[in-house]
Amino acid sequence: MVQSKFCEVKIICAEDCGNAPKKIRIKEFITAMANNDQIYIAESLASNIVWEIVGEKTVHGEAEFLRNSQPHNNISEVHIHNIITHGNTCAANGTVKFDTRSIAFSHIYRFSSARNVKIKEITSFFIEIFI
């Protein structure tokens, strides 16, 4: 496992997440989301991004995405279990630890094309973990 620390959030990710450009891009994107790096997030998105947070809402466009992507609590750690890519799609899952709770996540990403690394769609599932 490779552990890296960017700002305040500890990121844990398997070493094989670095063997493909899209895997690296998604790991960096998840890290940017955890750390509220609005510049990196904006550079990663297609202007017409659609983010469906299943069971909650659908966000349209870069500006609305940036308003809705800010962490609501203090994230202490993100553990990325898997990043899987194929063509213009990618999936990632893992857990996010906050001060007082943890959430499991699964994100399905669609890029503008198989070669373009701008993210044009994200479907996200979040489940609170009770331990």
Report the CATH number that the domain containing residue 58 is assigned in CATH: 3.10.450.50
**What pLDDT was estimated at residue 2?**
39
pLDDT tens for 78-110 read 999 999 999 899 999 999 998 888 999 999 999
Average pLDDT in the 23-42 region? 92
What is the distance between the alpha carbons of residues 26 and 29, in angstroms, rounded to a whole number? Answer: 5
- pLDDT value of position 5: 40
Percent of the chain with pLDDT over 70: 85
- How many domains are contained in the chain? 1
Q: Is the pTM of this model over 0.85?
A: yes
At 69 the pLDDT is 85
Q: What is the DSSP string of 6-72?
A: ETTEEEEE-GGGGSSHHHHHHHHHHHHHHTT-HHHHHHHEEEEEEEEETTTEEEESHHHHHHH-S-S
Confidence of residue 73 (pLDDT cuts 50, 70, 90): low
Q: Stretch 60-67: mean pLDDT, rounded?
A: 94
Distance (Å, rounded) from C-alpha 71 to C-alpha 35?
Answer: 8
Compute the distance between CA of residue 28 and CA of residue 64 in angstroms, rounded to an integer: 21
Share of the chain above pLDDT 90, in %: 62
Residue span of the structural domain in which 62 resides: 2-129
DSSP symbol at 130: -
Mean pLDDT of the chain: 87
Contact yes or no for 86/20 (Cβ under 8 A): no
In this predicted structure, what is the pLDDT of residue 71?
67
**Residues 6 or more apart whose Cβ sits within 8 Å of residue 104:** 93, 94, 95, 126, 127, 129
